[in-house]
Amino acid sequence: MQLNSRISLVVTASLTVLGGASAPAHADSASAMTVPTSGAEWFSAGRAAIEANRLVNRELNTRRARNVILFVGDGMGVSTVTAARILDGQQRGIDGEWNRLSFEKFSDLALSVTASANQQTSDSAPTATAMVAGIKTNDGAISVDQSITRKEFCAEVTRAKSVRTLLERAEERGMSTGVVTTARITHATPAVNYAHVSNRDWEANNTIDSDLGATVLPVGCTKVKDIAAQLVDFKVGNGLEVALGGGRPYFEPNTKADPEYPTRLGRRTDGRDLTAEWAAKPGAAYVWNKAQFDAVDLNRTRHLLGLFEPSHVKYEADRANDTAGEPSLAEMTRKSIQLLKKNPKGFYLMVEGGRIDHAHHAGNAYRALTDTIAMAEAVKVAREMTDDEDTLIIVTADHSHTLSIAGYPSRGNPILGKADTGLGLLGVSPVAIDSLGLPYTTLGYLNGPGGWTGNGSRRELNPATELYTAEIPFTGKRPDLTNVDTTNPNYLQESAIPTVGAETHSGEDVAIYANGPKSYLVRGTLEQNAIYHVMARALGL
Amino acid sequence: MNSSIRNALVPLLMLVLVACGDRRPVPQLDLVQSPPPVAAEFRTTVEPAQGGNSSTEWRFWRSHDRIERENPAAQSGDLWVRDGKMLFHTRLYHADRRGIEYHNDDLQILNAAPEWIALSTLLDPGLIGVLRERENGWRDGYPYRRYTGAVEDVVWDITVRTDWMLPTRIERRGADRQVETVELLRSFEFGRSPWQPVDSADYDMLDYADLGDHERDPFVMRIQAEAGGGHMHGHAH
Ligand SMILES: [Zn+2]
């Protein structure tokens, strides 16, 4: 009976394919079918997947897109997607290796080369600029070309070196536009859509002023505007329809207390209250908590600004503990599309899973993976709310991280657990042992703050005594994880090289997943800036 | 009572009180209550088994929702702010006029989200709970209790001024025979100390979460190297 049900599921998957589904067979079969358990079943599943691809290629979606949605998983390298896919499956009680995240069911795929104009391994500013403006540029650059210096204070020079973004072109055409992120809305990846500035750190005016110091601007130059001010002062078309994320103090004067955390003040030293300025525009609304967000009247609201935290929005794993409540990335995506869809001319929306990157930098795989799963949920919502026939959805990462999946753990071994040997009896598999006789986790980082602190050479600051401990000599041993619960959400995976402040980005290619009009242009190994050109071509811009 | 008699009696009464001080009840150390606002100065001395002592003096301010620590010699400090159920920690670098902010979730990831009571009293309630009270009484006009004992190869000797919920001396002897001592040098009612915390209101603050994306910031590169392998965020205990 078991075999029969499997066969019938394979047949169902094949029938779906014959019915003209645009996604590969595994995509649809994976959600319905359990993992194959025999050579014959694997063979059938493999053949069904190829059959689906054959039909996709026969029916290229060459239409023009009305809408484009670009999802960016900040730091979501291929190993992150694989590990998140497994964790998601294991959390839902299905085979993690067979599981697929929503965007892994898209019809087209390519690799993206993420090196920037001056970096082998890039930061988020030039990589995001590549995706939304179609050029490669230097570290820290927000939609300005590589001829600019990192700290260009002159607004006129900055304007001359600025590059037009897809969002600006969409606004010029009368489309609606939006930017949604779990990072600060002024952070590099969202900022490249609406701002032009040489230094990603100039999120509010105070950092420009402190960098400028006593320097006098050259004759004919006015001071460049900070990123938050550029968002609120954005003049192309009728301005952004949606901007949701974190970063309230970057919009508020340093005399104004934060509404959620009254001990904290704004950062602006120019006296501007940008949230009040936004809210004063016709048809505009500003919200800063979940209740206000839920109460937004979409019939009356044409421009929505939501800033839910003083800095980045909470990790998905911590969101439930927030003081004033925050919407999830999926909820923000849903509300945005509801608002943007009102425009018959179509829309452009960027959605960033911004904190995948931060969790990796902290050496904490759990939060990186759960934020990846949260972004996959947002992609699912976006696809459900739109039509494959007129909406191009691209999901990609700006760069990767040093996360690796190592050892020879058994299929089904907990992805956050210790690698096992697969050699045990009665379903109990002993953990794998390294050359020092110690167990190790499946997930690890090449560098970062985690794990090596157990026994390596180190000094640790004790703030209660204001002293660093004496150097603890290197014993040649890794920490013994025998009694450590590595699936704890706060566990920091071990790193080989100590970079205590933060784990770093990594330079290998990331994946581009695409679905909808012109998605067939996403193939092969593409330079990252080609993503812009796919979106622009799809929109006919 | 006429005023001249009262003037003569007051010093006499005080003398009696001081003489009888030992018999006054010593307040319990209740590490659940909110401690009173204070300012204090401490000296920490580390004596490794092989010799070569080092010591540093640091200042401490505590009010209801805000705790500040400052090491004037190192030009560094820590600021802890409690806002509703959220805790914010800022590591301050005064010479650079910069700070690194840690939010609740960062502190959890770093396994460094201490109890407010431990931060504000410099005492670990769990530790005090397992040590034995060896003596109590009055000294220099304030009540104290002394706790001693060994926990996991570490020998503790802690004396606490109970009315202010402030340690006057913490001695920790490790298995490696290193001795760390924290001594209270001076303490004041809050606002009465001769020194005040450095004003960090206009420092350039960087989120801990953003450190990884400041790979070319000379300040970030320097403090990462200075940490010498330790967490840049120290653990509370
Ligand atoms: Zn990063």
A158-190 tens-digit pLDDT: 999 999 999 999 999 999 999 999 999 999 999
Which among B178, B209, B230 is the nearest to A358, CB-wise?
A: B209
Within an 8 Å CB–CB cutoff, is residue A504 touching chain B? yes
Residues in chain A within 8 Å Cβ distance of B108: 318, 490
Within an 8 Å CB–CB cutoff, is residue A461 touching chain B? yes
Within an 8 Å CB–CB cutoff, is residue A490 touching chain B? yes
Summarize the confidence of residues B201-207 as an average pLDDT. Answer: 91
Residue A236 has pLDDT above 60, yes or no: yes
CA distance to partner chain B, nearest, from residue A509 (Å): 19
Q: Tell me which chain B residue has its CA closest to the CA of residue A125.
A: B213
User: What is the ipTM for the molecules in this complex?
Assistant: 0.83
Give the model's confidence band at A258: pLDDT under 50 very low, under 70 low, under 90 confident, else very high: very high
Q: Tell me which chain A residue has its CA closest to the CA of residue B105.
A: A318
End-to-end CA distance of chain A: 55
Contact B235 A466 (CB under 8 A): no
Contact B227 A367 (CB under 8 A): no
Contact B85 A457 (CB under 8 A): no
Which among B209, B217, B230 is the nearest to A460, CB-wise?
A: B230
Within an 8 Å CB–CB cutoff, is residue A124 touching chain B? yes
Give the model's confidence band at A17: pLDDT under 50 very low, under 70 low, under 90 confident, else very high: very low
Q: Cα(A399) to centroid of ligand 1, in Å?
A: 8
CB-neighbour burial class of residue A343 (10 A; exposed 0-12, middle 13-18, buried 19+): middle
Q: Tell me which chain B residue has its CA closest to the CA of residue A457.
A: B229
Residue A326 CA to residue B215 CA, distance in Å, equals 30
Looking only at the bridges linking them, the beta strands covering A303-307 and A242-246 are: parallel
Domain architecture of chain B: domains with CATH: 38-226 (2.50.20)
Interface of A with B in 296-325 (CB under 8 A): 311-312, 314-315, 317-318, 321, 323
Residue B213 CA to residue A420 CA, distance in Å, equals 34
Higher pLDDT, A28 or B195: B195
Q: Cα(A155) to centroid of ligand 1, in Å?
A: 27
Question: A51 with A17: CB under 8 angstroms?
Answer: yes
Residue A58 has pLDDT above 50, yes or no: yes
CA distance to partner chain B, nearest, from residue A189 (Å): 12
Residue A509 CA to residue A523 CA, distance in Å, equals 13
Contact A464 B236 (CB under 8 A): yes
Catalytic site positions of A? 124
Residue A233 has pLDDT above 70, yes or no: yes
Q: Tell me which chain A residue has its CA closest to the CA of residue B90.
A: A463
Give the model's confidence band at A476: pLDDT under 50 very low, under 70 low, under 90 confident, else very high: low
Domain spans, chain A = 3-58, 108-366, 401-505+517-526
Encode pLDDT of A74-126 as tens digits: 999 999 999 999 999 999 999 999 999 999 999 999 999 999 999 999 999 99
Q: Cα(A502) to centroid of ligand 1, in Å?
A: 9
Find which of A382-396, B72-86, B99-113 is predicted with most confidence, using mean pLDDT: A382-396
Contact A262 B83 (CB under 8 A): yes
pLDDT over 90 for what percent of chain A?
77
Beta carbon pairs, A and B, within 8 Å: 150
Contact A364 B178 (CB under 8 A): no
pLDDT given at position B227: 64
CA distance to partner chain A, nearest, from residue B132 (Å): 22
Residues in chain B within 8 Å Cβ distance of A360: 212
Summarize the confidence of residues A192-198 as an average pLDDT. Answer: 98
Q: Cα(B8) to centroid of ligand 1, in Å?
A: 73
Summarize the confidence of residues B152-174 as an average pLDDT. Answer: 94
Residues in chain A within 8 Å Cβ distance of B230: 453, 458-461, 468-469, 500
pLDDT given at position A57: 65
Q: E strands, chain B, where? A: 38-47, 54-62, 66-71, 76-83, 86-93, 98-102, 132-139, 142-151, 154-161, 166-173, 179-189, 204-207
Contact A362 B204 (CB under 8 A): no
Helices (H) and strands (E) in chain A, counts: 16, 17
Q: Cα(A500) to centroid of ligand 1, in Å?
A: 14
CA distance to partner chain A, nearest, from residue B4 (Å): 50
pLDDT given at position B115: 84
Residue A291 CA to residue A302 CA, distance in Å, equals 19
Within an 8 Å CB–CB cutoff, is residue A435 touching chain B? no
pLDDT given at position A80: 98
Q: Tell me which chain A residue has its CA closest to the CA of residue B122.
A: A464
pLDDT given at position A33: 63
- Top residue of A181, A475, A500, A506 to mutate, by most chain B CBs within 10 Å, is A500
Q: Cα(B95) to centroid of ligand 1, in Å?
A: 27
pLDDT given at position B216: 85
Encode pLDDT of A495-515 as tens digits: 888 887 889 999 999 999 999
- Top residue of B104, B105, B223 to mutate, by most chain A CBs within 10 Å, is B105
Q: And the tokens for A483?
A: 């009694």
Which among A263, A492, A500 is the nearest to B83, CB-wise?
A: A263
Q: And the tokens for A384?
A: 């459900």
Residues 6+ apart with CB under 8 A from A79: A400, A401, A403, A404, A405
Q: Which amino acid is at A311?
A: S
Give the model's confidence band at A59: pLDDT under 50 very low, under 70 low, under 90 confident, else very high: confident
Encode pLDDT of B6-24 as tens digits: 454 444 444 444 444 567 8
Phi, psi torsion values for B120, nearest 5 degrees: -85, -20
Give the model's confidence band at B224: pLDDT under 50 very low, under 70 low, under 90 confident, else very high: confident
Q: Could you tell me the strand order of the sheet in which A510-515 lies? A: A284-287, A303-307, A242-246, A176-184, A347-353, A67-73, A391-397, A510-515, A108-113, A525-527
- Protein residues placing their CB within 5 Å of the ion ligand 1: A 357; B 212-213
Residue A472 has pLDDT above 60, yes or no: no
Q: Tell me which chain A residue has its CA closest to the CA of residue B87.
A: A261
Residues in chain B within 8 Å Cβ distance of A265: 201
Give the model's confidence band at B153: pLDDT under 50 very low, under 70 low, under 90 confident, else very high: confident
Q: Tell me which chain B residue has its CA closest to the CA of residue A473.
A: B229
**What is the rounded average pLDDT for all residues in chain A?**
89
Give the model's confidence band at A475: pLDDT under 50 very low, under 70 low, under 90 confident, else very high: low
Summarize the confidence of residues B82-98 as an average pLDDT. Answer: 92
Encode pLDDT of A287-346 as tens digits: 999 999 999 999 999 999 999 999 999 999 999 988 889 999 999 999 999 999 999 999
Residues in chain A within 8 Å Cβ distance of B122: 464
A506 bridge partner residues: A400
Q: Which amino acid is at A184?
A: R
Q: What is the largest CA-CA distance in chain A?
A: 83
Give the model's confidence band at A444: pLDDT under 50 very low, under 70 low, under 90 confident, else very high: very high
Burial B161-174 (b: 16+ CB within 10 A, else e): bbebbbbbbbbbbe
Residue A31 has pLDDT above 80, yes or no: no
Residue A203 CA to residue A189 CA, distance in Å, equals 12
Give the model's confidence band at A479: pLDDT under 50 very low, under 70 low, under 90 confident, else very high: confident
pLDDT given at position A330: 98
Which among B65, B84, B212 is the nearest to A323, CB-wise?
A: B84
Within an 8 Å CB–CB cutoff, is residue A467 touching chain B? yes
Q: Which CATH architecture has domain A108-366?
A: 3-Layer(aba) Sandwich (3.40)
pLDDT given at position B233: 46
Encode pLDDT of A343-357 as tens digits: 999 999 999 999 999
